Copies of this chain bind each other. A is one copy, B any other.
Amino acid sequence: MGERMPVEEHARFVRSLLAPLGARPSEVVALADALGRITASPVESPLDLPPFRNSQMDGFAVRAADVADAPVVLPISGEVAAAPGAPAALAAGTAVRIMTGAPVPDGADAVVPVEDTEPDGDGVRILRARAAGEYVREAGSDLAAGDDVLPAGVRLAPRHLAAAAASGLTRLLVRERVRVAVVSTGSELVAPGEPLGPGEIPDANGVALEAAVRAAGAVVVHAGRVRDDVDGLRAELDAAVAAGAELILTSGGISQGAYEVVRELLEPLGAWVGSVAMQPGGPQATAVYRGVPVIGFPGNPVSAQLSFALFVAPTLRAVAGLPPPRAERMPLAEPVRSIPGRRQYLRGRRTDDGRALPVGGPGSHLVAALAASDLLIVVPEAVEALDAGEPVDTVDL
């Protein structure tokens, strides 16, 4: 099997294989479908924001000069609602009743809030002077037409869609999501829910790696499951390429056994299939198949999930504008032992008092224990044992 490859070296190589995924093509999506997508270029507003001078309050539009000596009574010369239409200009010495958001008439330069007024016959008594500009929102005071309402590279949250819609936009240019194929291998696998014969197990990697791809902001364009059969695997990889996959993830078929289908198909094509100095997830593979990077994970669902999290998720999440998972240093809740020369990723739980509690032991078959965990506990290569209370690096699952 040769030397085990250091974790960081494998991670670096996978990162370099996936680096081209960072140069995303663009696509146009409707605003209603844009939540969570990343803008591909700066977005110009075709409109002034606000588009016209409007009132910040319900009240009376006036000339500031006419109310300088308040209290003063002004005749009411009209009314403007937030509604279609342009109001007539304000006659000097009068007030116009105005609603929040309604266009301020030409000639008016201030709004007196209704709270600072009293009815007075057919007119209105203005109780308080207001300077020119008070309670008036000038056109373009938020953003001028032609300026960027959104920068490139922003992950679209509701507030970004609010600004885009307020600018009259209905579509946005966003980065395409990374198109990924997921292929499970193993003659022992059956679809979950099918009856199990002797020696058979449900394929957990299909559904779980597909979900992991989606959770990392990418899309699954092809998913398949093959027995330990080289022709079958080749057909799946060809189907993945035909579906436009930019990245193919396989599980199984890369260890030291006699029926290692990923190794058999891809090693003659130049794949690296070897062992990384980690547990779980020691067997790993990298290849390029018809121009598409292939990352091969071990078949064990725990190893496959962990390998995805360590080697593939960081690139996919960065491309999708998602933050890395929280990494923290915290004390161990229990002593642990580890295999020297391999980096252990123990599954664990954060205790109520902020310590890292191992869950379920180091075995890579403990998929229920993985589900019961919420973090990984990293035990470095050189460490054989750690006492309770010693600080460890953890990464949220």
Residues of A at under 8 Å CB distance from B? 1, 31-32, 35, 45, 47, 49-52, 54, 56, 58, 79, 81-87, 97, 99-103, 114-115, 137, 141-143, 149-150, 157-170, 186-188, 191-194, 196-212, 214-215, 228, 255-259, 299-302, 304-305, 308, 360, 363-371, 373, 397
Compute how far the CA of A238 lies from the CA of B295 in the bound complex, rounded to whole angstroms.
53
Known: A102-B199, A168-B196, A367-B49. A162 touches B79 (CB 8 A): no
Compute how far the CA of A304 lies from the CA of B50 in the bound complex, rounded to whole angstroms.
16
* A323 vs chain B, min Cβ distance (A): 11
* A34 vs chain B, min Cβ distance (A): 8
Q: Which residues of B contact A214 (CB under 8 A)?
A: 35
Copies in the complex: 2
A360: nearest residue on chain B (CB-CB)? Answer: B142
Compute how far the CA of A198 lies from the CA of B255 in the bound complex, rounded to whole angstroms.
71
Compute how far the CA of A366 lies from the CA of B137 in the bound complex, rounded to whole angstroms.
10
Asked if A163 contacts B204 (CB within 8 A), the reply is yes
Known: A82-B187, A188-B83, A215-B158. A210 touches B32 (CB 8 A): yes
Asked if B301 contacts A162 (CB within 8 A), the reply is yes
Max chain B C-beta neighbours (<10 A), residue from A103, A208, A366, A368: A368
Compute how far the CA of A259 lies from the CA of B80 in the bound complex, rounded to whole angstroms.
11
Known: A192-B168, A200-B84. A79 touches B211 (CB 8 A): no
* A14 vs chain B, min Cβ distance (A): 18
Partner of A161, one of B79, B103, B158, B211: B211
Asked if B257 contacts A201 (CB within 8 A), the reply is no
Q: Which residues of B contact A259 (CB under 8 A)?
A: 81-83, 99
Q: Which residues of B contact A97 (CB under 8 A)?
A: 258
The 10 closest A-B pairs by CB, nearest first: A162-B208, A163-B371, A99-B257, A170-B193, A86-B198, A166-B204, A83-B187, A165-B204, A143-B368, A158-B212
Asked if A86 contacts B365 (CB within 8 A), the reply is no
Asked if B256 contacts A114 (CB within 8 A), the reply is yes
Asked if A368 contacts B201 (CB within 8 A), the reply is no
A200: nearest residue on chain B (CB-CB)? Answer: B84
Asked if B370 contacts A162 (CB within 8 A), the reply is yes
A87: nearest residue on chain B (CB-CB)? Answer: B199
* A129 vs chain B, min Cβ distance (A): 18
Q: Which residues of B contact A367 (CB under 8 A)?
A: 49, 142, 159, 162-163, 166
Asked if B99 contacts A202 (CB within 8 A), the reply is no
Partner of A166, one of B52, B166, B202, B255: B202
Max chain B C-beta neighbours (<10 A), residue from A102, A159, A165, A228: A159
Partner of A208, one of B100, B161, B186, B369: B161
Max chain B C-beta neighbours (<10 A), residue from A35, A199, A258: A199
Asked if A193 contacts B169 (CB within 8 A), the reply is yes
Q: Which residues of B contact A102 (CB under 8 A)?
A: 188, 199
Give 9 CB contacts A-B under 8 Å.
A84-B198, A100-B255, A100-B299, A142-B365, A142-B367, A158-B209, A159-B397, A166-B301, A166-B368
Asked if B199 contacts A83 (CB within 8 A), the reply is yes
Known: A165-B208, A305-B158, A360-B142. A81 touches B187 (CB 8 A): yes
Compute how far the CA of A211 lies from the CA of B87 in the bound complex, rounded to whole angstroms.
34
Asked if B305 contacts A159 (CB within 8 A), the reply is yes
Asked if A52 contacts B199 (CB within 8 A), the reply is yes
Max chain B C-beta neighbours (<10 A), residue from A115, A193, A206: A193
A80: nearest residue on chain B (CB-CB)? Answer: B199
* A326 vs chain B, min Cβ distance (A): 11
* A4 vs chain B, min Cβ distance (A): 11
Max chain B C-beta neighbours (<10 A), residue from A84, A102, A255: A84
